[in-house]
């Protein structure tokens, strides 16, 4: 009578077949390798009943099943290696973002010693008489920027850092508010401004996370990097 290979899973029994002796207490792996499979196949052919030889279809099926299992196992190992490599590559690329600026949801503008402070507002319909109001830390209005009529989509704006009289203001953080008229109704809109990227994290579930003083934001949700 033929021996069913699928019923044998212990490597200790495989060792006894190879050596012809009882198994020792040496530590061994429970994984059935290709070498073990062919050892079992050889033993099956050696000890089969001549009057009832092993069925060829059954042997081919066993060989096919083993090859498929081994292939899937190797594929999983390769995918794990690829995922690890991609994570390392993502971390390297993400590190280059530190020190740059990301356009994130914020109602404040960071004014440097020189240059402009920039932001954006996203609207889903045409807005008339859109204005940006800039206030200092004390709540005093220091600048009004007239954007006029803006169509649906993202509208960018910039502030040169001067007050209404043209004098350059000190560097620091200034609050902003954007308002405009939609179908005759005056309303406020959410704003986005550029914030320094202070650090990055690699989250395997979500991807690259950018950390700014406004908080953490996923890189996939950031529209612009400056």
Contacts of 8 (CB under 8 A, 6+ apart): 14, 40
What global pTM score does this model have? Answer: 0.58
Residue 64: CB atoms within 10 A of its CB come to: 10
Angstrom distance (rounded) from CA 6 to CA 110: 69
pLDDT-above-90 percentage for the chain? 38
CB 110 within 8 A of CB 173: yes
Output the CA torsion sign for 167, 170, 172, 173.
Answer: negative
Could you tell me the residue ranges of all domains in the chain?
A: 5-94, 101-221
Q: What is the DSSP string of 120-189?
A: EEEESS-EEEEEEEEE-TTS-EEEEEEEEEE-SEEEEEEE-SB-TTSPBPPSEEEEEEEEEEETTEEEEE
CB 210 within 8 A of CB 216: yes
Angstrom distance (rounded) from CA 81 to CA 53: 43
* pLDDT for position 201: 81
pLDDT digit string (tens) for 69-119? Answer: 667 777 777 666 666 555 566 666 677 888 888 899 999 999 999 889 999
Angstrom distance (rounded) from CA 77 to CA 80: 5
Nearest to 103 by CA among 192, 213, 199, 197: 192
What's the whole-number average pLDDT of the chain? Answer: 78
End-to-end CA distance of the chain: 75
pLDDT digit string (tens) for 135-180? Answer: 999 999 999 999 999 999 999 999 999 999 999 999 999 999 999 9
Structural fold of domain 101-221: Immunoglobulin-like (2.60.40)
CB 126 within 8 A of CB 174: no
Angstrom distance (rounded) from CA 43 to CA 35: 12
* pLDDT for position 82: 63
Angle at 171 between CA 168 and CA 176, to 5 degrees: 90
């Amino acid at each position: 009578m033929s021996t069913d290979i699928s019923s044998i899973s212990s490597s200790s029994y495989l060792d006894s077949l190879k050596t012809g002796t009882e198994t020792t207490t040496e530590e061994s792996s429970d994984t059935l390798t290709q070498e073990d499979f062919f050892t079992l196949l050889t033993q099956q052919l050696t000890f089969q009943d001549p009057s009832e030889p092993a069925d060829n279809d059954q042997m081919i099926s066993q060989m096919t099943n083993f090859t498929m299992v081994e292939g899937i196992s190797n594929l999983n190992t390769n995918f794990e290696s690829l995922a690890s490599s991609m994570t390392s590559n993502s971390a390297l690329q993400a590190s280059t973002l530190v020190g740059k600026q990301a356009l994130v949801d914020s109602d404040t503008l960071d004014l440097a010693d020189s240059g402009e402070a920039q932001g954006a507002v996203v609207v889903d319909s045409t807005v008339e008489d859109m204005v940006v109001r800039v206030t200092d830390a004390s709540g005093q209005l220091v600048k009004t920027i007239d954007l006029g009529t803006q169509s649906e989509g993202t509208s960018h704006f910039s502030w040169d850092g001067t007050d209404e009289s043209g004098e350059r203001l000190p560097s620091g953080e200034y609050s902003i508010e954007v308002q405009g008229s939609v179908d005759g109704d005056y309303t406020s809109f959410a704003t986005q401004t550029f914030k320094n990227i202070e650090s990055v994290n690699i989250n395997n579930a979500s991807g690259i996370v950018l950390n700014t003083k406004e908080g953490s934001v996923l890189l996939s949700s950031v529209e612009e990097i400056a």
